[in-house]
């Protein structure tokens, strides 16, 4: 019989252990962080009625949608994000769930885009949202979640840029330019690339505004510096428009509330130039960049929106949420050489080389596991050298070597594989404590590190 | 604009928090258990080339396959299990990964079956396998994993039924009935329902065997009792056929190795009557039933197979694996009233009722989270009574009540919600220790309970 060629579809990929281990660890850290703030998990189906999905994203997502007619003749589609399913879910269940409703969802989505470097047709999104409240406390909390999430993942050098869309909206309102918001934002987006003069010229031509109006908009976008400096300069730029003034007041409240919640001031940047898409967000918006690799873009973004589920329900559901860019973050950690290269999720390896001692190896492994120390036993009695090669190749931290002599002496040899160092530690099945204590000295990747060790705020 | 009706597809469902919390907890426990034995996570795409999937399961799975032609004109299908993708994955990557290869995968699969009570078109599978070794140690380990998994989930009363398919194969070989294996197994499957006499009659007619042969087969199937009893009776039934004798020896080795590994003998049953499907398994097979709810069927099943990926590669890949029936187990836990009814993943709730103390509530929450105690703050300053209603409805363990008086006195009121009891505990932001100690007394669902507390084996 001819063999079928084993291969994945274009734009799809397998995750091998060395890639999947850090991926899974970050997802678990995210779950634990979200839960620790009271966000609860939900899940929604991969497939939705097509009408739920089409026209809810951009023209691009419509074009990229995986859609077909199922065996029951129903037009169906595979979800392209987690926001549209959340809107459908909220419209359907919010009466039962009540508000405020805080949820997270970590799940794959599908987009048939042309695969490029680092872009795939199946990828994970990792979202959290608080729905049904306009309270500033929810905004403060979103900043705190992002801070806590990145630090729990082990990242210390990052910057959360925060803005409030209401500030620019209010300024444009006062300049009588509310209708030109979209072309103005489109021009503003180029400020970093083409410079002030060209941006101003484009605003004047494309958005049909006066040069002095363009200048005022640019003054706002360029209002940089530390948070106190920005808050000091803003009043002169935005004048007395109520929307803008309230927007600035709320932005300051979020910043100060985040500091009270333990977010270090130096990790936040008040950046009144960021916009994040044109239509969806209406209030505070966030972007998060890694200080050591800002070029990779934002790894956690989000903001406040006015009404989540208007297409499916008359219930007005304001909310705030953000999304961790899992793949981007993993790519960054790889570039920064922060991912361990292990393909094994447990630290201890026990070679099985004295074939008469199988039950002793099994008991040793069980005793370590019961103490929370993940342990693999090689399945076949082979030469020690071959087994140690396997241990090295897979990145175990320790090999525990015990042959007839060691068992007779009540000892095992603990080999630290990276350092090629060995020491003998007392061990019997009835008294495993010393060995457990020795092996617990190191970080144990089978345990989760949920609690942060920072001092009280 | 007309509203779109928010609804899920027939046979699909949303998971709300109260259902998703225990579901996610079991999946995490499974991951931690698998990892603690050296099984590493992998992931494979939802969509595969259609030719990878068709003809690999049963006629039924072929008929139920979600399949379509993608935008690039490729026939594709959504995976219907995790075994076929694993076979494709192993054929493709085993050269790089090496053997033994130990993996787990927890992921959804899709089957367009007619939805019945408790059956859905999208459901999770939760599989672990050791590939590339025929060693008995891998078989022993599979039993140990199942035992460890159920106990980590919090189930103590269960029975792992173990058989070795080689025993019946050898007996049929010695009776010259190897070619009639399939109809014989089909008849044997009915033994429990239709009784000995009818089963024997059916074997004689359907499988065309002699009554004395049917009697010998039934003697094996009825060889019950404790493990020692079964092992004592077997030799007389199976005679000197080498396949059967080796099969019985290996079965005993697995049983004794599992005991050495810490599995309680009373949790194992040597049951030479179980078969688990007709073609796939060739060696040891397992089923696991809950002693308090055996009628729900096996919650964790698996076995040893000869060659995983023969359709995709010439490399011979024997292995052993099993699958946790997540949905069935959750249904059982619900029936047994073992699921907590909380819709919140953290134990502590802080009402925000003294509106001037927002920052104090935020600081209190941060200090508890940093000590590993998940804490939600209500987002809006409302009447205490309404907030306590919210806390009760969501199943929080504690509400921490602090108004102006409490803050002035350096105390918070700890309300244990289920018992409607309150006590005052000292707390200031600089000295949170007493409160943390009080709240740490209880089980904390935001932490994972990975290590088992059993004594050494």
CB contact under 8 A, B312 and A13: no
Q: Say which residue the tokens 């209190």 belong to.
A: B364
Residue of A nearest to B348 (CA): A38
CA dihedral (A418, A422, A427, A432) positive or negative: negative
Q: A103: nearest CA in chain B?
A: B17
Residue A441 in tokens = 């000295």
Closest CB to B133: pick one of A358, A371, A379: A379
Residue ranges of the annotated binding site of A for L-histidine are: 81-83, 111, 125, 129, 276, 280-281
Q: Chain A 1-20, CB below 8 Å of chain B: which residues?
A: 1, 3-10, 12-17, 20
Q: How far is A342 from chain B (nearest CA, A)?
A: 10
Cβ distance B133 to A380 less than 8 Å, yes or no, reads yes
Give me the CATH topology for the region A349-439: Rossmann fold (3.40.50)
**Nearest residue of B to residue A348 by CA position?**
B38
Interface contact B252, partner A, CB < 8 A: no
Is B74 annotated as a binding-site member? Answer: no
Tally DSSP H helices, then E strands, for chain A.
Answer: 16, 16
Distance from CA of A69 to the nearest CA of B (A): 8
User: Which band of pLDDT confidence, cut at 50, 70 and 90, is reported for residue A241?
Assistant: very high
Q: How near does any CA of chain A get to the CA of B293, in Å?
A: 27
A451/A439 Cα distance (integer angstroms): 21
Q: Which sequence spans correspond to the domains of chain A?
A: 15-157+291-339, 159-266, 349-439
Binding residues of A: 81-83, 111, 125, 129, 276, 280-281
Local confidence band at A442 (pLDDT 50, 70, 90 cut-offs): low
pLDDT of A446 above 70 = no
Strand partners, A376: A349
| Nearest chain A CA: its distance from B445 CA (Å) | 9
d(CA A372, CA A446): 8
Contact B40 A48 (CB under 8 A): no
Cα–Cα distance, B239 to B170 (Å, whole number): 10
Give burial (CB, 10 Å; 0-12/13-18/19+) of B356.
exposed
For chain B, the first-to-last Cα distance in angstroms comes to 68
Distance from CA of B123 to the nearest CA of A (A): 10
In this prediction the ipTM stands at 0.93
Residue of B nearest to A369 (CA): B36
Question: Does A143 contact chain B (CB < 8 Å)?
Answer: no
Contacts of B112 in chain A (CB under 8 A): 70-71
Distance (Å) of CA B169 to CA B252, B320, B321: 17, 18, 20
Chain A segment 164-223 residues within 8 A of B by beta carbon are: none
Asked if the Cβ–Cβ distance from B262 to A366 is below 8 Å, we say yes
Nearest to B45 among A8, A72, A314 (CB): A8
Distance (Å) from the alpha carbon of B345 to chain A's nearest alpha carbon: 5
What is the mean pLDDT for each group of 10 consecutive residues in chain B (457 residues)? 92 96 96 98 98 86 93 96 96 96 98 80 96 98 98 96 95 93 86 90 90 94 94 95 97 98 97 77 94 94 93 95 94 90 93 96 97 97 96 96 94 95 96 96 49 53
Over 80: is that where the pLDDT of A430 sits?
yes
Contact assignment for B362 to A257 by CB distance below 8 Å:
yes
Q: Looking at the partner chain, which of A32, A46, A372 has a beta carbon nearest the beta carbon of B450? A: A372
CA distance linking residue B45 with residue B136, whole number of Å: 32
Q: Which residues contact B195 (CB under 8 A, 6 or more apart)?
A: none
Q: Can you say how many angstroms the Cα of residue A455 is from the centroid of all Cα atoms in its chain?
A: 24
Task: For residue A24, give the nearest of B3, B31, B457 by CB distance.
Answer: B31
pLDDT for position B182: 85
Closest Cα in chain A to B24: A41
Out of B40, B45, B370, closest to residue A17 by CB = B40
> To probe the interface with B, which of A1, A2, A9 has the most B CB atoms within 10 Å?
A9
Mutation to test the A interface, candidates B133, B369, B388, B396, most A Cβ within 10 Å: B369
A 271-310 residues with CB < 8 A to B: 309
Fold of domain B354-439: Rossmann fold (3.40.50)
Beta carbons of A174 and A235 less than 8 angstroms apart: no
Chain B residue with minimum CA distance to A380: B135
Query: Which chain B residues have a beta carbon less than 8 Å from that of A453?
Result: 370
Residues in A closer than 8 angstroms to B52, CB to CB, are 4, 6
Class of the B17-157+291-335 domain? alpha beta
Q: Would you state the pLDDT for residue A447?
A: 39
A173-222 pLDDT tens trace: 999 999 988 889 888 888 888 999 999 999 999 888 999 999 999 999 99
Task: Give the whole-angstrom CA distance, residue B410 versus residue A231.
Answer: 34
Which pLDDT tens digit goes with each residue over A328-363? 999 999 999 988 878 999 999 999 999 999 999 999
Residue numbers in B near A112 (CB within 8 A) = 70-72
B81 is in an annotated binding site: yes
The pLDDT value recorded for residue B445 is 45
**Whether the bond into A221 is cis, omega within 30 of 0:** no
Task: Express each pLDDT in A141-162 by its tens digit.
Answer: 999 999 999 999 999 999 999 9
Q: Which of B38, B76, B314 sits opposite A376 (nearest CB)?
A: B38
Alpha-carbon distance of B289 to B433, in angstroms, equals: 45
Separation between Cα atoms, residue B67 and residue B70, nearest integer Å:
9
B104 assigned to a ligand binding site: no
**Nearest residue, CB atoms, A446 vs list B17, B262, B450:** B450
CA distance B457 to chain A (A): 6
Tokens of A392: 């090295």
Average pLDDT, chain A: 92
pLDDT of residue B442: 65
Distance from CA of B67 to the nearest CA of A (A): 8
Closest CA to B8 of A53, A130, A307, A308: A53
Is B413 annotated in a binding site? The answer is no
For residue A137, list chain B residues with Cβ-Cβ distance below 8 A.
352, 358, 362, 377, 379-380
Confidence check: pLDDT of A93 > 60? yes
For chain B, the residue count is: 457
Please, are residues B286 and B258 in contact by the beta-carbon 8 Å criterion? no
Determine which of A47-61, A233-247, B5-19 has the lowest per-residue pLDDT on average: A47-61
Partners of residue B454 in chain A, C-beta under 8 Å:
370
- Closest in A15, A37, A445 to B43, CB measured: A15
Is B59 buried (19+), middle (13-18) or exposed (0-12) by CB count in 10 A? Answer: exposed
Q: Determine whether domain A15-157+291-339 maps to CATH 3.40.309.10.
A: no
- Nearest-Cα residue of chain B relative to residue A395: B38
Nearest to B15 by CA among A51, A346, A76, A104: A104
Minimal C-alpha gap between B320 and chain A (Å): 12
């Amino acid at each position: 019989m001819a063999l079928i060629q084993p291969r994945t579809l274009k734009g799809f990929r397998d995750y091998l252990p060395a890639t999947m281990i850090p991926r899974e660890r970050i997802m678990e850290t995210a779950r634990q962080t979200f839960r620790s703030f009271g966000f609860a998990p939900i899940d929604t189906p991969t497939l939705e009625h097509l009408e739920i999905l089409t026209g809810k994203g951009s023209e691009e997502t419509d074009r990229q949608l995986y859609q077909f007619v199922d065996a029951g003749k129903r037009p169906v589609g595979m979800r392209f994000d987690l926001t549209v399913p959340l809107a459908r879910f909220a419209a359907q269940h919010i009466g039962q769930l009540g508000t405020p409703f805080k949820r997270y969802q970590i799940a794959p989505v599908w987009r048939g885009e042309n695969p490029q470097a680092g872009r795939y047709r199946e990828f994970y999104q990792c979202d959290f949202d608080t729905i049904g409240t306009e309270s500033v406390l929810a905004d403060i909390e979103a900043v705190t979640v992002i801070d806590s999430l990145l630090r729990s993942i082990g990242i210390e050098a990052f910057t959360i840029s925060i803005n409030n869309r209401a500030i620019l909206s209010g300024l444009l309102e006062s300049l009588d330019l509310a209708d030109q918001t979209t072309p103005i934002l489109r021009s503003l987006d180029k400020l970093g690339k083409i410079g002030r003069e060209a941006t101003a010229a484009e605003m004047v031509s494309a958005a049909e505004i006066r040069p002095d109006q363009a200048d005022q908009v640019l003054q706002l976008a360029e209002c940089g510096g530390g948070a106190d400096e920005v808050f000091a300069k803003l009043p002169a730029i935005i004048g007395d428009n109520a929307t803008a003034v309230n927007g600035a007041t709320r932005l300051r409240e979020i910043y100060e509330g985040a500091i009270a919640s333990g977010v270090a001031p130096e990790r936040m940047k008040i950046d009144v130039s960021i916009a994040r898409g044109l239509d969806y967000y209406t209030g505070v918006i966030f972007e998060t960049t890694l200080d050591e690799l800002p070029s990779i873009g934002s790894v956690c973004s989000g903001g406040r929106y006015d009404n989540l589920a208007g297409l499916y329900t008359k219930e007005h559901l304001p909310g705030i949420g953000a999304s961790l860019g899992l793949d981007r973050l993993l790519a960054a950690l790889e570039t920064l050489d922060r991912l361990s290269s292990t393909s094994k999720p447990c630290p201890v390896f026990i070679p099985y080389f004295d074939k008469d001692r199988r039950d002793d190896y099994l008991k040793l492994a069980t005793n370590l596991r019961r103490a929370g120390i993940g342990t693999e036993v090689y399945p076949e009695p082979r030469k020690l050298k071959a087994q140690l090669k396997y241990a090295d190749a897979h990145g175990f931290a320790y090999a525990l070597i015990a042959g007839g002599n060691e068992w007779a002496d009540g000892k095992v040899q603990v080999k630290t594989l990276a350092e090629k160092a060995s020491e003998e530690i007392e061990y019997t099945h009835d008294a495993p404590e010393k060995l457990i204590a020795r092996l617990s000295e190191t970080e144990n990747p089978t345990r989760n590190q949920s609690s942060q060790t920072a001092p009280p705020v």
